[in-house]
Amino acid sequence: MAALDVFEKEPLPPESDLWRLENVMVTPHISSGMPSYMDLAVDPFCDNLWRYLAGEPLRNVVDVRWGY
């Protein structure tokens, strides 16, 4: 199963084959709208802020070669 919420063209066009695949769940690109988002996002953000200010390596850094 794949859960996808980011696409090259948004919103995902109705004619996309992804809508018809049984092993794909398409969700809107709005994960920050969930009620617990701030609870989940604030701690990692603050941790990285302190790391940045201290000159330490950041966590969860995007590898631009891989795209995530």
The dihedral through the CA atoms of 9, 68, 22, 31 has a sign that is negative
The dihedral through the CA atoms of 15, 18, 23, 25 has a sign that is negative
> Interior CA angle at 40 toward 59 and 4, to 5°?
85
pTM of the model: 0.52
Tens-place pLDDT, residues 15-58? 999 999 999 988 887 766 778 888 888 999 999 999 999 999 99
